[in-house]
Chain A
Amino acid sequence: MSINFKHIEDKLKTEAKKLLEQGKVSIVLAYGKGYDDHHPMPYVARNAADVGNIVFNEFCTANLARYLVRYPRGTKIAIAVKAADSRAVIQLIQEDKIKRENLVVLGIPVSGMKNSKTGEIIDSKTTCGLYNPVLYDILLGKEVHGKSVISPYDVLAEYEKMDKDARWDFWKKELDKCIRCYACRKACPMCYCDPCFIDQNKPKWGEKSPESHGNLMYHLTRFHHLAGRCIDCGECSRACPVNIPLYLFHKKVAKECEEMFGQVAGMKIEDKPTLVNFRVEDSDKILE
């Protein structure tokens, strides 16, 4: 079940060229060369001539949905998405940040993607574990089948064995490492606020330099802001230079959300964002 990356790259180029030439979109969000093959970068193709610069290989992990909200509302955009990325697109549509009709979604089924930092295959337990995009207009390659898909919550087994105090200690220790580079926030498709709460001065929600209290304030609030919205791409954790396993918290919250409200972020366009949608039949467990 090995993925033919070259084949996908070619198809991506062909489709991007067609879309730009036919004027169906004004930009294509894809990947381009970085300083070496292990570090491809997000790339925006604006005309047919740009298309030659597009690359796709096993290091193209960045979630391009991150860039959708940068363009003026109504811009026609084509975007290359892998499984979790497509969920980010869905979530952004639910939040009315973008409109379905302005998008051409180029879906890429993948497995065996690698982490640029380590060169190793990414443990699918740290992501949503899906192979195929949930939403696409054009599929670049065959759907991946065969391996049983793991539960996105498997990785929590160890974490959940800890009691309340142990978890608190765990997070205090992990978050103390944070150097406040904000790479997690920059990588995240759902962190689109400008200015982010933590950058504000009136009121000042938390210390801005890296220190325990400010770090806790930033991360606990960010976790909270992503409750029911994180689509489990794992980009934040991979972006983190000090390797904080942010995915653990996001997954734990996602699991509780699913148990309480029966909804998983970014799976259905017609869903309403979980935590700001009131339904009479909603569980009251959250109040207990």
Chain B
Amino acid sequence: MSRIGVFVCHCGLNIAKTVRVSELAKFASTLPDVVVAKDYKFMCSTPGQEMIANDIKKHKLDRVIVSACSPLMHEQTFRKVLENAGLNKYLVTIVNIREQVSWVTHDIEEGTAKAKAVLNGAVYRARLLGPLTSRVIDVNDDVMVVGAGIAGIQASLELANTGKKVYLIEKNSTIGGHMAQFDKTFPTLDCSACILTPKMDAVMQHKNITLMTYCEVSEVKGFVGNFDVTVRQKARYIDHSKCNGCLACTEKCPGKGVSEWDEGLVKRKAIHIPFPQAVPQRPIIDRDACVFFKKGKCRLCEKVCEHKAIDFEQQDTFTTVKVGAVIVATGYDLMDTQPLVQYGYGKYPGVYNALEVERLFNSTGPTGGKVTLRDGKEPQAIAILHCIGSRDKNNYEHCSRVCCMYSLKFSHLFKEKTTADVYQFYIDMRAAGKGYEEFYNRIIEEDVKFIRGKGARVAESADEPGRLVVEAEDTITGKFVKLPVDMVVLSPAMIPRSGSKEIARLFNLSTDKNGFFMERHPKLAPLSTMSEGIFIAGVCQSPKDIPDTVAQANGAAAEALTIVEKDKMELEATTAMVNPSSCCACQNCVRVCPYGAPFFNEQKGVSEINEALCKGCGLCASVCPASAIIARHFTNDQVLAEIEGLMEF
């Protein structure tokens, strides 16, 4: 026999609007073992909490059920109430009748009936609950940052400056991310390299930052406070401890590969650094482009390298680092616009995407900063097409947020560097940032022509061979426009970086429908994720400009600090264990656990669970054919009782 108290919350009208709360409380009082049942306007308020505490004493309650919002909101609040009243905190059960009941119906009959069913289930389960003891663990002081664009760089520097040790992992051979590809940045038009390279250098010099470029995360084990992250160092074929960055090798190399950094506009050497200010200033060999790897003969770089740094035998290596928290800042790619055949990208040489144009403006780019077409000529007329694949229900519904602004930036730079006429084809001009409207007004003054209407098609000009025609409907005049130009710039949708699906899997992150990492709460926890101890910053969360990216990076650094600042932390007691006498050694548990907690004990011939790693997700219990796994707090008996209670309605 247990003594259960049921407390039904109105949540103002949030619940009371579609659930008859006093009827629900009255119903609860008829259920087995329930000795008191009440409803109240705001159970989480101080009077609400006091009511529960008093009733625990007055009615000698040993179980409490709070029928209110999601446990994500107030489970901790009510656990404290029990703890203060001298009860084990795991004896409180939260029944979510808001997100899962009142908010998903308009019908008060339906709402009340469903609320009764879930409450009935909860009472059945609560009767079988037992007290549990939380575990206290040591917390590792260090932090890992994945992705070294401006977001990762900023977060690393902030953390390192507080004295924390940071491992910064970058999959490219240089840090900097997209910002390092730009010539100027809106809205101030300051030189991108001038503001970024000092930070890149600071990362390199910082004694608290271990920079790991050309690296990728290959395995993540553990949990908040104690992650074991395995990092794969991809073979560079150059021993960076010997190389002094003289780059003599890059001069002699006959191997040619496509320059990723210049967005494929030019070739680069097989042994190369991506751009002159790359950090670190150490080359790598692109195996696919290297004459020696392809043909078995060459090794010119080896001959010219005075420091004997070239190592064709080098293999990928793996290191495991221990950290307490992780910040993921893997940024974005531009959508591939080739499938949108109406714009002719990849078909007409005069059509460019926005990042390619960034490289054309840049003095370290393929043209040395001159704006010329692929045939070397200067364009006479240029059209910039906004919202390609963005704000487009057939592709990506989201607004990429920065395209209006960089298109204005492009207009300015085109005007500065060429004599061309510049046209903007836009749906709406979105200039909602500090200094953005002012920037817009400034560009209007610069004789740029604005056509309100989305570019519909790019075609070859019938009259002037070699030129292009942009077709659109001008929605101000209502007229159909056909504009002859030499160059078309597409502003494609920003999408998550390729490989971010894999990152999501490794770190257990959820993604939204476009693949951007999901925050724990869109308003109140925009930088944390559902995986405790893993934070996100920058465009990997959603499209944004550099100021917002930097603000997020600083925020994520602060969030990570709140974890690694602690020496110890308390972990949930809701872990799983194996009953060895039922285990049939199928090892399903070992295979499915996302945290690597179960392992097979060869000696005993059964699986066991490392409690320190177990997060109590329950996956193993659900795949165990022999029902040998006991998930504490959600045992088979408890779950079945709850289902039974539910099914009675």
Contact = CB atoms under 8 A, between A and B. Distances in A.
- Specify whether A and B are partners: yes
Interface of A: 73, 95-97, 192-197, 200, 202-203, 205, 225, 272-273, 275-278, 280
B588 A200 contact: no
Interface in B627-648: 627, 636-637, 640
A95 B587 contact: yes
Contacts of B585: 97
A278 B592 contact: yes
Contacts of A276: 588, 591-592, 623
B288 interface: no
Interface string B152-179: 0000000000000000000000000000
B570 interface: no
Contacts of B605: 73
A96 B600 contact: yes
B636 A277 contact: no
B591 A203 contact: no
A270 B647 CA distance: 43
Interface of B: 501-502, 505, 582, 584-588, 591-592, 600, 602, 605, 623, 625-627, 636-637, 640
A16 B171 CA distance: 55
A162 B175 CA distance: 60
Nearest to B592: A276
B636 A203 contact: yes
15 contacts: A73-B605, A96-B587, A96-B600, A97-B586, A192-B584, A195-B582, A195-B626, A197-B627, A200-B627, A202-B637, A203-B637, A225-B625, A273-B591, A280-B501, A280-B502
Contacts of B600: 96
In the A-B complex, the 7 residue pairs with the closest CB atoms = A193-B584, A276-B591, A193-B626, A225-B625, A203-B636, A276-B588, A276-B592
A205 B587 contact: no
A203 B585 CA distance: 20
Contact of A95 (B582, B586, B637): B586
B592 to A, nearest CB: 5
Contacts of A272: 591
B55 to A, nearest CB: 32
| B501, B505, B587, B625 interface centre (most CB from chain A within 10 Å) | B625
Contacts of A203: 627, 636-637, 640
At the interface, is chain A mostly helix, strand, loop or mixed?
loop
Of B502, B505, B591, B605, most buried by chain A (CB within 10 Å of CB) is B591
Contacts of A200: 582, 627
A275 B636 CA distance: 21
A197 B625 contact: yes
A197 B628 CA distance: 9
A278 B505 CA distance: 9
Contact of A194 (B584, B587, B627, B636): B584
Given A96-B600, A200-B627, A203-B636, A193 B586 contact: yes
Contacts of A202: 636-637
Contacts of A277: 591
Given A203-B640, A280-B502, A196 B587 contact: no
A193 B625 contact: yes
Nearest to B628: A193
A205 B627 contact: yes
A225 B501 CA distance: 29
Nearest to A73: B605
A225 B622 CA distance: 11
Contacts of A278: 505, 592
Given A193-B586, A197-B627, 20 more contacts: A73-B602, A96-B587, A97-B585, A194-B584, A194-B626, A196-B626, A197-B625, A202-B637, A203-B627, A203-B636, A203-B637, A203-B640, A273-B588, A273-B591, A276-B591, A276-B623, A278-B592, A280-B501, A280-B502, A280-B505
A200 B627 CA distance: 9
A221 to B, nearest CB: 8
B640 to A, nearest CB: 5
Nearest to B583: A193
Nearest to B501: A280
Contacts of A273: 588, 591
Nearest to A224: B625
A195 B628 CA distance: 9
A266 to B, nearest CB: 15
B499 to A, nearest CB: 10
A70 to B, nearest CB: 12
Contacts of A275: 623
Contacts of B637: 202-203
B127 to A, nearest CB: 15
A64 to B, nearest CB: 19
Contacts of B588: 273, 276
B500 to A, nearest CB: 11
A197 B626 contact: yes
A69 B636 CA distance: 27
Contacts of B584: 192-194
Contacts of B602: 73
A200 B586 CA distance: 18
B580 to A, nearest CB: 12
A193 to B, nearest CB: 4
A96 B587 CA distance: 8
A97 B606 CA distance: 11
A203 B635 CA distance: 9
Which among B586, B623, B627, B636 has the greatest number of chain A C-beta atoms within 10 A? Answer: B586
A99 to B, nearest CB: 11
A225 B623 CA distance: 9
B634 to A, nearest CB: 13
B120 to A, nearest CB: 19
Contacts of B626: 193-197
Nearest to A191: B625
Nearest to A281: B501
Contacts of A225: 625
A16 B610 CA distance: 43
A280 B502 CA distance: 7
| Residue among B501, B626, B636 facing the most chain A CB atoms (10 A cut-off) | B626
A210 B587 CA distance: 31
Contacts of B627: 197, 200, 203, 205
Nearest to B638: A203
A129 B501 CA distance: 39
Nearest to B586: A95
A278 B619 CA distance: 12
Nearest to A275: B623
Contacts of A196: 626
A193 B587 CA distance: 12
A195 B625 CA distance: 10
Nearest to B635: A203
Nearest to B581: A195
B496 to A, nearest CB: 13
Contacts of A194: 584, 626
B598 to A, nearest CB: 11
A203 B587 CA distance: 21
A196 B636 CA distance: 15
B360 to A, nearest CB: 35
A225 to B, nearest CB: 5
B433 to A, nearest CB: 35
A273 B605 CA distance: 19
Contacts of B587: 95-96
Contacts of B592: 276, 278
Nearest to A97: B585
A196 B592 CA distance: 21
A225 B625 CA distance: 6
Contacts of B505: 278, 280
Find the residue from A192, A193, A225 having the highest chain B CB count within 10 A: A193
A278 to B, nearest CB: 7
Nearest to B594: A278
B642 to A, nearest CB: 12
Contacts of B586: 95, 97, 192-193
Contacts of B502: 280
Q: Which of A194, A276, A277: most chain B Cβ within 10 A? A: A276
